[in-house]
Chains A and B, each alone.
Chain A
Amino acid sequence: MNWVKSIIVGIVFIALFYIMNAAMSSTGFFGIGIDDYQARLLVLIAIAVILATSLNLINGFTGQFSIGHAGFMAVGAYSSAFFTVNYGKAIEASFGFLGETLASSIVLLIAIIVGALVAAIAGLIVGIPSLRLKGDYLAIVTLGFAEIIRIVIQNIDAVGGATGYPVPGYANFLWIGVFTVITVVVIHNIIKSDTGRALISIREDELAAEAMGVNVTRYKVTSFVIGSAFAGVAGTLFAHYNKFLHPNDFQFIKSFEIIIMIVIGGMGSMTGAILGAIIVTLLPELLRNLPPIQVGDSTFQFADLRLVIFALILILTMILRPQGILGTKEIGDFFKRFRRADKPEGGLE
């Protein structure tokens, strides 16, 4: 019975994304259109949602400390872009009998598989040795890995190096929306499964989990690999939507941005990660519209201070609401106040 509901909900959402995709096209959807800038922000939010939920699986639910998520995104983005640049046309031609739209969709699907696989392998390579390490050390290794990836890419001329890498634009909002929903649903289901329970037990108390017979290392690596694979998916979608890749887009500030998303939203909360992704993507853009202030005879551009304001908001959020906006709760929990709270109050510990 539940899967019937899932399928219906799925269809509803795909229809919704289809409508939004149509609205983004030049003609609009029955005259309702959003312009390219708004469309771009929506897509960036969707990609951020994939990144945040996948990092949330590692950081929020398994309690590991990865601060190099942009590195896995870069791996997925560049490997899939390399694939489509070199083989995209050929595959599209061989599926040409299906029509242009379907053929390019097939290329994108294969690219996503490639990106996810390569990122997962990278996750495995980094994860297996380093997940033996405790908390902060893992953080440092992931950060170092992400930096190494960026520097290596910068030196490979086959993928553009410091010039940047133009990529064919196979992804549109429909696909990105669908994959965002798929990511959220898959990660949600993982968390609700036995595996998810094991992961949360590792977060709560590693020793106790081990004593209860949970193979801690295996589950840690599993969550790390799944998280990396979805980062690869996000990278693939970003590459094929943005149509241009550059190592500067994967600096460690990008990894920090993803962490900020899940921490602001509330670690260990699906909806929190989504909320964080929206806030972190939109806030700096909205702050661009701050009006200039007239001080004496010179105008003071408030918008120039937007990154300072962003940093201040970040620090204040941490001081005033350290567990993030939602904590470990979901938005849905707030609509169910009449039910007895089945989750502990408060922060992460």
Chain B
Amino acid sequence: MDTFVQHLVNGLTIGSIYALIALGYTMVYGILRLINFAHGDIYMVGAYTGLFLATSLGFAANPSVFGFAVTLIGSMAIAAALGMAIERFAYRPVRKFSKMTTLITAIGMSLLIEYLFVFFFEGKPRPFPLLLKVPEWLPQFFQPDEFGNYILFGNAKISFIQILIFIVSILLMVTLQYIIFYTKMGKAMRAVSFNLNSAKLMGINTDFVIAFTFALGSALAAAGGVLTAQYNPKIDPLMGIMYGLKAFVAAVLGGIGNIPGAVLGGLVIGAAETLVVGYGGYIGIPSTYRDAVAFAILILVLLIRPAGLLGSNVQEKV
């Protein structure tokens, strides 16, 4: 039981990160019907930006809540700007063309970012400093053990960073939900995703809405990047490929274009992966099949319920 809970906690941690990245995929897809393959690389850029902010502003040396917040928000802002720039200069010119064209542009963008980073920062993994510690003025009850763990029960532990990831992801997701459902911009986003041309006729500045969506998605991905870097403090230029793919799978699993679906999909993929590594051995699945699990689940779900877990079956327009 301890072990199971431990697996679940670990899986949900990874799952929250997948969920953060998946939100960007799902929003962009919902609006443009574009699989933004460069999204995983924005996650990577977010982690790198975080590293440079943290080291250049001196937060790496003395961890503090302020330093963490500045790094997180700073890298989110820079990634948002990057996302908007990519949309403006690469996707907007090809938006009116066929799906294949936009897809290839996205792949090209992804390769461009990866190779540029490999060229400038080399492929070697870089350590990421810990930016946040449990404040010492908190009472003894809140102080973790020497490895930053809190004991849930028995041998099952949850680390401080894991709690941090949960809190930050939930905060970001609530904010996103607020933006989409309770602001004017969110209403415009929903309108554009419902029907881009009608939205335009209604006087919505669709170009701006799309740019805003990219900014929002990229910011979330960057937050995912910084949080992963806190949890597994190692970043490299190709770290976005697998995470990007799996987050994308999570978005499809939840029902692409559906925001709660992306979160659910991310959590399911994260937990399933971890449990397969933990218990797959008993049913003959070695732990290396971890990466195949996400795809296998995806294919099964698509065959049984093509719209995804929470997606609604939209009647094809004639």
Contacts and interface: CB of A to CB of B under 8 A. Distances in A.
- Whether the complex brings A and B within 8 Å at their CB atoms is answered yes
A152 B288 CA distance: 9
A263 B101 contact: yes
B53 interface: no
B97 interface: yes
Contacts of B170: none
8 contacts: A129-B303, A134-B316, A135-B99, A147-B295, A148-B292, A304-B119, A318-B94, A322-B97
Nearest to A263: B104
A284 B244 CA distance: 25
Q: B97, B101, B249, B252 — which one has the most chain A CB atoms within 10 A of its CB?
A: B101
B278 interface: no
B33 interface: yes
A306 B239 CA distance: 21
Interface string B283-316: 0001011011011101100110010000000001
Contacts of B291: 147, 151
Nearest to A155: B288
A154 B288 contact: yes
A307 B116 CA distance: 9
Nearest to B298: A144
- Interface range on chain B (Cβ under 8 Å from partner): 35 or more
A1 interface: no
B140 interface: no
Interface residues of A, number: 47
Contacts of B316: 134, 207
B302 A137 contact: yes
B94 A322 contact: yes
B105 interface: yes
Chain B interface, >50% SS class: helix
Interface stretch (B68-76, B107-115, B195-203): B107-115
B107 A260 contact: yes
Interface in A299-337: 304-305, 307-308, 310-312, 314-315, 318-319, 322-323
A130 B302 contact: yes
Contacts of B93: 319
B179 interface: no
Interface string A137-149: 1011101110110
Contact of A348 (B98, B289, B299): B98
B35 interface: yes
Given A151-B291, A155-B288, A307-B111, 18 more contacts: A130-B299, A137-B302, A137-B306, A141-B298, A141-B302, A144-B298, A144-B299, A145-B295, A151-B289, A152-B292, A155-B289, A256-B107, A311-B112, A315-B90, A315-B108, A322-B98, A347-B97, A348-B98
B1 interface: no
Contact of B109 (A133, A256, A315): A315
Contacts of B111: 307, 310-311, 314
B115 A318 contact: no
A311 B98 contact: no
B100 A140 contact: no
B313 to A, nearest CB: 11
A311 B298 contact: no
Interface of A: 59, 65, 67, 129-130, 132-137, 139-141, 143-145, 147-148, 151-152, 154-155, 207, 252, 256, 259-260, 263-264, 267, 304-305, 307-308, 310-312, 314-315, 318-319, 322-323, 347-349
Nearest to B96: A322
A219 B68 CA distance: 56
B108 A318 contact: yes
Nearest to B97: A322
Given A136-B33, A319-B90, A267 B100 contact: yes
B108 A140 contact: no
Contacts of B302: 130, 133, 137, 140-141
A130 B304 CA distance: 10
Q: Looking at A129, A136, A304, A315, which has the most chain B CB atoms within 10 Å of its CB? A: A315
A311 B115 contact: yes
Contact of A318 (B101, B288, B289): B101
Contacts of B116: 308
Contacts of B288: 151, 154-155
B119 A319 contact: no
B245 interface: yes
A259 B104 CA distance: 8
Contacts of B103: 67, 139, 259
B98 A144 contact: no
A218 B100 CA distance: 23
The 4 closest A-B CB pairs, nearest first, are A144-B295, A314-B108, A311-B112, A322-B97
A314 B104 contact: yes
B281 to A, nearest CB: 13
B138 interface: no
A315 B288 CA distance: 35
Interface string B107-130: 111011001100100000000000
A317 B27 CA distance: 27
Given A151-B292, A315-B90, A348-B98, A132 B104 contact: no
A133 B316 CA distance: 12
Contacts of A312: 108, 112
B98 A148 contact: no
Contacts of A315: 90, 105, 108-109, 112
B112 A308 contact: yes
Interface centre among B107, B112, B316 (most CB of A within 10 A): B107
A147 B299 contact: no
Contacts of B299: 130, 141, 144-145, 148
A1 to B, nearest CB: 38
Contact of A263 (B100, B109, B248, B256): B100
Contacts of A132: 306
A59 B234 CA distance: 39
